[in-house]
Structure 1
Amino acid sequence: MMEDKAHFPSVNPVSAGLSGKCPRCGQGRLFDGFLNVKQSCAACGLDYSFADSGDGPAVFVIMLVGFVIVGLVLFVELSFQPPIWLHLLLWLPLTVILAASVLRPLKGLMIALQFRHKAEEGRLDTNGED
């Protein structure tokens, strides 16, 4: 990643990431489609090639949505004891809707935090040795 010489006002990575905006200027859009990251920011020209959120957002979605859904399933089962078909009718769509609604903001947040903290792929320091 090349060192940026332009001066931009500090952008809060949480608000920029959750809203899907550029982590440098806070104006341009981060996503092209639902989860595809654009090539660069249309407003400031930041190259998004550094953006690799990997499986991080999916892990957080599983943890958050799983916690909510399992808690609700247990509450409904212990309180009302509905048949299994009703559980499937309730929890499968709710799980998909919650996961889809949380995944994009969390991916934006991870990318914005990567930019803020200049996170890069790990490298071994060889001190000039081959």
Structure 2
Amino acid sequence: MAGQFIDTFWRKSFIGDLRRARKISENENQWSLMYDGKTHQFQYVWLQGLCIKIDKNADLMIIEDATGQAELQKCSRAVDAWSTNEGDYLMTAGKLLNTNSSDRIIVDTYKIQCFKTLSKQEINWPFEVVDISQRVYHYY
């Protein structure tokens, strides 16, 4: 069962890369993304970015990285979500819901981890995404 969950995760991603994802199954919310000539299927995404908007009434946050924006919905289900402030750097994991609406992707949020300082996490993120992409998705 744990292997199934891990296989449904599109590991560390840039928001802009997920704009290319295409829904392949309405019932199970399955997505596919072509990477290096290979198609990868997933349900969940792992993103990091700067929180640029918090709307507690709508139960959402908007984050951005250098490649785009993501709307995080149902944030209240994540422990301590509302301790996040605009301008904080955070990590989120959740189910990808939409890549075509307006100018941002939409994620059904399950986890939010706030990093109160813009230290190593923000600096390392682009390198981690590139590293995991090369090591996992460039297999021979």
Q: Which TM-score band (shorter chain)?
A: under 0.3
Higher fraction of helix: 1
TM-score norm. by structure 2 comes to 0.23
Q: Answer 1 or 2: higher relative contact order, Cα 8 Å, separation at least 6.
A: 1
Higher fraction of strand: 2
TM-score norm. by structure 1 comes to 0.24
Asked which structure has the greater CA Rg, the reply is 1
